[in-house]
Structure 1
Amino acid sequence: MTAGPRPGLGCVGAPRLLAGLDRAARLDREAHLAVHGTLPRQCLEELVTLADEIDLRGRGGAGFPFARKLRAVARSARGRDGLTAVVVNGSEGEPSCLKDTALLLHAPHLVLDGALLAAGALGAEEVAVAVTRPDVEQSVREAVAERGPAGRRVRVARLPERFVTGEGTALVDGLNGGAALPSGQKVRTSERGLGGLPTLLSNTETFAQLAVAARLGAREYRTAGLPAEPGTVLLTVAGSTVVEVPTGASLSYVLQLCGAEPGQGVLVGGYHGRWLDPGSARAAQVSRQALAALGAVLGAGAVLPLPEDTCPAGEVARVTRWMARESAGQCGPCVRGLPALADVLEDSVRGGGRAALEAVEARLRAVRGRGACSHPDGTSQFVASALSAFPEEFRDHALGSGCGRRVLGALPLPRDESPERLVVDWTLCRGHGLCVDVLPDVVRLDADGYPAEASMAVPARLRPKALRAVRRCPALALRIQG
């Protein structure tokens, strides 16, 4: 597996998380201490008070109060001989978000500081850092080694690079040696996580913010940003540039700084996020409350402006298909529902008529609230938000007129690096359809029940299923081609 894209960096105002990176591409231990200074120790009560006073919330998307997580882990540990663990979620399975990657590549010690500070306060013996990219893994391992004996309780693990890996139970199961897939069980990691212990799990930026706040103190930390949402936040703009901004900054100004405009609209919060129309995007502030008032969510900080020269309907259909393929494949709404949603959405974009648009609405209703994790709900909300933001576009496409614009890939997706493809021999295929039963993430059937494509990319993780599909084909019409 090759390394993914390396983000550009920028800031509005004085940087905190990205401090020093204007002079060095990566802060090693010595440079880190020169920029940030030594990290003060804090007991659990002090750390909880600090997190409360700055209203520190998880920066992975859910925005859960960090102080409540600390209290919950400590409370669970009382009945477990005080044993706890800390997990850093550095897995960014969504291509529209690169902020955690930026921190772990360029300022890994800031993240380790926050994780080890929390571990010290909780008395945790192990800190696990979960990543998905090889270059990120190397950077974190180097940072751990640079810490000498102090880094011995830090474990770095690389998990499969997929959208659902970052879900809490998937991450913990992967670190525990199992499959990195959502369990479907409502188990709080604060009660049972790494090795079965009460576990503090939060994402990379959250721990970095904690390390900054511990050095500055609550009063100084609150000098940046809004009174109700103090501090800074990292945004990934257009899937390529990570910008640190104080809360309350103008979203339009951030886009301008990155050489972008609101265009036809702005997707905020990534592929489980919401669309803002151009007017709302120009008026929006970067804050949870301000965006919520506009019907949007900050989420993990992905900001995706849609240029004027690309097709909105085609962009949304393309992402929906990828999201369907990124499911855990463990429950009906993912295995059947999301591929079916992608099918009818593509059909409507190709001119399937009003019936096709009605079928999209029906599929949205069919997957909502029924998944083992939040992936079906998030994906359906992404599509529903797009239908609301671009109603004329989807209507015109469904009725056959379309917009005449190409799909430029403005909404970023990973490059298909798989060297293997599942190939159909049309002289043998009889449309039995067994292949889609085995491999729904890869094979789609057309209206006549035959594979919709003659050659389909096979991700490496799905190769065993592709081999099974080849073996099960009664007509021997399938083969894997390198």
Structure 2
Amino acid sequence: MTGRVPVLSAVGPPRLLAGLDRTPWLDLAAHLALHGPLPHLSGGELADLAEGVDLRGRGGAGFPFARKVRAVLDSRARTGPATAVVVNGSEGEPGCLKDTALLLHVPHLVLDGALLAAGALGAERVAVGVAREDVELSVRRAVAERGTVEPAVHVVRLPERFVTGEGSALIRGVGGGPALPSGRRVRSSESGLGGLPTLLSNTETFAQLAVAARLGVAGFRELGLPEEPGTVLLTVAGTHVVETPTGLPLPYALRVCGADVGQGLLAGGYHGAWLPAAAAAAATVSRGSLTAAGAVFGAGALLPLPEATCPVGETARVARWLAAESAGQCGPCFKGLPALAESLYAVARGGGVQATAAVQAALRAVERRGACGHPDGTARFVATSLAVFADDHAAHARGAGCGRPVLGALPLPEGVRGGEPRPAAARPPAPDERLVVDWTLCRGHGLCADLLPGILRLGPDGYPERAAIAVPARMRQRARRAVRRCPALALRVETAAGR
């Protein structure tokens, strides 16, 4: 499956997106002609380079890359020489397309960074986890252009789910298991892919590493802020990807992409935080500036909310989608997030003080209680919306509303409206559908039986009684929901034509 292809632009001379003014895909020859050969570094030199340019993970957490490198080196000293390198290119965030842009257009830059790190760490395994079909084809084409390299680069297609990009979920998925958070507090630098000490980071981080290795510390620092050198990739409004030096006024970056701050700005994507319009207008493109304003830089997703849409409805529809995207492996995800989303809808429909209190209770029930960061990230998204758009939430709760429609300005995956699949009239289901259980993956969680009462029954052992269950037309939407929520990804819907 393919998705949105971003519109690309740059403020000043691009580094990561260089060359794309002449060709939409840089093959190996064009890539080497533009960037030159890749140097070889030892593990210590790699860590020093990353520290010298203050390279931080660009996937959301902003963790110092040098510390990751040194953690893998320390683990290797204790456990033996074998290590692994994993590139997180899954990007399940609907408002973020920067990693997609790199892997679709300049995949060799990302492979450079991964192979540079692999050589420095003596890695025996390198893997790139992706979720889109077009991205997979682009990366495989780039890998094929390089011929035989050591270590070999493996490209692994993973499910297109929001939680796939969580570190332990990605490691498990790339390793052949379910792409779901493990819930264990074990660092990948200690035990990651195949149990090996693993250097895991996202696509942009490895691309920045490849640029820094060629420019050196001084050259890399020629652009950007002294405390945050270099350039960053931003995704604006879920459609544009712009490369800009750090320190640029944030409104300028939005204008380059044809946007403005609107009613307010969501910084950091759906696990990020809302900023009031005035705070967003005064911010710059930097972690420090956004943190000081009360937001997070995250993965560089900037989602301005247009004046014409309802902020309460927009928040509720994304919250419902986030609840549907949970791994369903803990109470805060399986029960808390749906309760939070439905409480928001109750506020939007004029549910009064009771609905407002239910939202606050649901927030308390999920915060700091999840097996992964999904509940906390969703709670931050909702809580900051309640603060920034307080008057709108209050007006809706009283029944007055704000008088604006819900335009769907916050992007959700194709085929999703309001956090649910499109109605049957827009996409008629095929006749003769059945729900199929993959016994090799099923772990007996039993969530499917809760979602499909009277259709799917559990046996005495807690597993489904049958491997294939006919799905009546009235239950097809719920069957697809059960497929999405299965923690082990052990369910699928088949049609007569697809068997």
2:50 partner SS: helix
Q: Which residue of 1 aligns with 2:170?
A: 171
Counterpart Cα distance in 1 of 2:393 and 2:94? 24
The offset of 1:437, in angstroms, is 2.4
Q: Which runs of 5 or more structure 1 residues have no equivalent in the other structure? A: 424-433, 441-453, 467-479
The offset of 1:225, in angstroms, is 0.4
Verify: 1:89 aligned to 2:102, yes or no. Answer: no
Verify: 1:238 aligned to 2:212, yes or no. Answer: no
Q: Which residue of 1 aligns with 2:139?
A: 140
The offset of 1:438, in angstroms, is 2.5
Counterpart Cα distance in 2 of 1:146 and 1:435? 44
Counterpart Cα distance in 1 of 2:29 and 2:383? 49
Equivalent residue letter for 2:341: A
Distance 1:207-1:439 versus aligned 2 partners, 3 A rule: farther
Q: Which residue of 1 aligns with 2:342?
A: 343
Q: Any conservation in 1 of the 2:325–2:484 contact (CA below 8 Å)?
A: no
Q: Any conservation in 2 of the 1:421–1:457 contact (CA below 8 Å)?
A: no
Q: Which runs of 5 or more structure 2 residues have no equivalent in the other structure? A: 422-426, 432-446, 454-473, 487-494
Q: Any conservation in 1 of the 2:290–2:296 contact (CA below 8 Å)?
A: yes
Q: Any conservation in 2 of the 1:421–1:481 contact (CA below 8 Å)?
A: no
Could you state the TM-score of these two structures normalised by the residue count of structure 1? 0.89
Q: Any conservation in 1 of the 2:310–2:405 contact (CA below 8 Å)?
A: yes
Q: Which residue of 1 aligns with 2:35?
A: 36
Q: Which residue of 1 aligns with 2:389?
A: 390
The offset of 1:400, in angstroms, is 0.6
Q: Which residue of 1 aligns with 2:47?
A: 48
For residues 222-263 of structure 1, give each alpha carbon's deviation from its aligned partner in whole angstroms, at most 9, with x where no partner exists: 010000000011000000000001110111001111111111
Identity %: 65
Counterpart Cα distance in 2 of 1:287 and 1:422? 49
When the two chains are superposed, the root-mean-square deviation of aligned CA atoms in Å is 2.3
1:282 partner SS: helix
What does 1:312-351 correspond to in 2, within 5 Å?
Answer: 312-351=311-350
Verify: 1:277 aligned to 2:276, yes or no. Answer: yes
Equivalent residue letter for 1:296: A
1:235 partner SS: strand
Counterpart Cα distance in 2 of 1:164 and 1:461? 16
Distance 1:329-1:234 versus aligned 2 partners, 3 A rule: same
The offset of 1:163, in angstroms, is 0.5
Q: Which residue of 2 aligns with 1:437?
A: 450
Equivalent residue letter for 1:144: V
1:206 partner SS: helix
Equivalent residue letter for 1:200: L
Equivalent residue letter for 1:127: V
Distance 1:151-1:99 versus aligned 2 partners, 3 A rule: farther
Distance 1:111-1:282 versus aligned 2 partners, 3 A rule: same
Distance 1:312-1:436 versus aligned 2 partners, 3 A rule: farther
Number of residues of Structure 1 aligned to a counterpart in Structure 2: 447
Q: Which residue of 2 aligns with 1:222?
A: 221
The offset of 1:463, in angstroms, is 3.8
Q: Any conservation in 1 of the 2:6–2:101 contact (CA below 8 Å)?
A: yes
Q: Which residue of 1 aligns with 2:402?
A: 403
Counterpart Cα distance in 1 of 2:484 and 2:475? 17
Verify: 1:288 aligned to 2:287, yes or no. Answer: yes
Distance 1:69-1:159 versus aligned 2 partners, 3 A rule: same
What does 1:294-309 correspond to in 2, within 5 Å?
Answer: 294-309=293-308
Q: Any conservation in 2 of the 1:115–1:127 contact (CA below 8 Å)?
A: yes
Q: Any conservation in 1 of the 2:324–2:484 contact (CA below 8 Å)?
A: no
Verify: 1:118 aligned to 2:117, yes or no. Answer: yes
Q: Which residue of 1 aligns with 2:265?
A: 266
2:148 partner SS: helix
Q: Any conservation in 1 of the 2:11–2:244 contact (CA below 8 Å)?
A: yes
